Amino acid sequence: MSTLTKPNHIGRKISRIRELRDMKQEALAQALGTNQQTISAIENSETIDEEKLKAIAEALGVSVEGIKNFSEEAILNNIQNNYEGSVVHSGPTVNHNCSFNPLDKVVELYERLVQAEKDKVAYLEKLLKGK
């Protein structure tokens, strides 16, 4: 067998999809009206009949084709290509376009704080003169 061809082990695909959906074997068993040992046997099977596969696909919330064509590489490529919307990152440099200059915001905040202190001093001086 060539290293380029991988067996189409449907049970492993079901197991991996179940794990990615954060579902335990017991939960899948309950959804299918069976027990955990049966799910374990299914996940160790290389092939599964179509009716059982349809029921499993429905319980997992995916299509039968989704299970049959599942590959971790495709999932990773999809995640990488869709990270932060539809922006494709080609290296360590990521440009974030701000709609404002952060330094302007710092200066604005500083000026407001200085003005608040001036107002406080003026208020206290006014109180002291009134006595």
Return the pLDDT at 93: 57
**Any idea which residue has 């494709």 for tokens?**
88
Return the pLDDT at 5: 47
Distance CA 96, CA 80 (A): 18
Return the pLDDT at 85: 55
C-alpha angle 14-19-45 in degrees, rounded to nearest 5? 30
Virtual CA dihedral for 36, 41, 42, 46, nearest 10 degrees?
160
Return the pLDDT at 84: 53
Residue-wise burial string across 11-42, b where 16 or more C-beta atoms lie within 10 A, e elsewhere: bbbbbbbbeeeeeebeebbebbeeeeeebeeb
Q: Residue ranges of the chain with pLDDT lower than 70?
A: 1-7, 78-79, 82-98, 131
Model pTM score: 0.55
How many Å is the Cα radius of gyration of the chain? 30
